[in-house]
Chain A
Amino acid sequence: SQQGEEDPQALSIQEGENATMNCSYKTSINNLQWYRQNSGRGLVHLILIRSNEREKHSGRLRVTLDTSKKSSSLLITASRAADTASYFCAIRANMEYGNKLVFGAGTILRVKS
């Protein structure tokens, strides 16, 4: 089963609004990563946050990590129509899963212009 679980499954917002997606997991992790996927093809890496980090920023993206709650959130501020995509979290947990990323089922974000 997928260990990274995103919610909501789908999110529809107006351009300019903020979008928040959450990811929960069940084991101790080395890092957690967020990826974006357009049109069901290749994924693009957005941010990697290590287990000893609590927050990272990249442009309009803000990722938080709470290892005590085993959860992470991805915030996209001032959303644009071009942000419409599926967003996946992925965890690396070497002790549990070895050398592979375990992906969640994703959140489908639709930004309406």
Chain B
Amino acid sequence: GAGVSQSPSNKVTEKGKDVELRCDPISGHTALYWYRQSLGQGLEFLIYFQGNSAPDKSGLPSDRFSAERTGGSVSTLTIQRTQQEDSAVYLCASSWAASGGGGDTQYFGPGTRLTVL
């Protein structure tokens, strides 16, 4: 079956430009997460969506970062006025639930590698 997909796979942009990264979660998954991973580092939580609840934006590093999830499915992460320190791999994951139980397993997309020149 189809897994989590992300587009584009690679994005090179100039400092100051806006970028949009897209995530298509697994159909039926109610929870969707965005993470950022800098080279050789672990995953940094950015934002979390669960059903129709208000998203948990506690991980967004600045107000240049925002995300939407339309219709409980596709999500877009937008970075405005990109900076060189935004260069990283942006990973999206989805899961059935975020309850701490067995439905908690996250399924990751292949990521978008963002390079800000």
Contacts and interface: CB of A to CB of B under 8 A. Distances in A.
Interface in B40-59: 41-43, 45, 48, 50, 56, 58-59
B108 A44 contact: yes
A94 B100 contact: yes
Contacts, number: 71
B19 interface: no
Interface size class of A (residues with CB under 8 A): 20 to 34
A100 B56 contact: yes
A33 B111 contact: no
A90 B48 CA distance: 15
Contact of A100 (B39, B45, B105): B45
B43 A30 contact: no
Contacts of A61: none
A13 interface: no
Nearest to A105: B42
B94 to A, nearest CB: 12
A99 B56 contact: yes
Interface in A30-49: 30-31, 33, 35, 40-45, 48
Given A30-B100, A42-B91, A101 B45 contact: yes
Interface string B71-101: 0000000000000000001010100001011
Contacts of A41: 89, 110-111
A25 interface: no
A86 B25 CA distance: 23
A22 B11 CA distance: 35
6 contacts: A41-B111, A42-B108, A90-B43, A92-B100, A100-B59, A106-B42
5 smallest CB-CB distances across A and B, nearest first, come from A30-B100, A42-B108, A103-B43, A105-B42, A99-B98
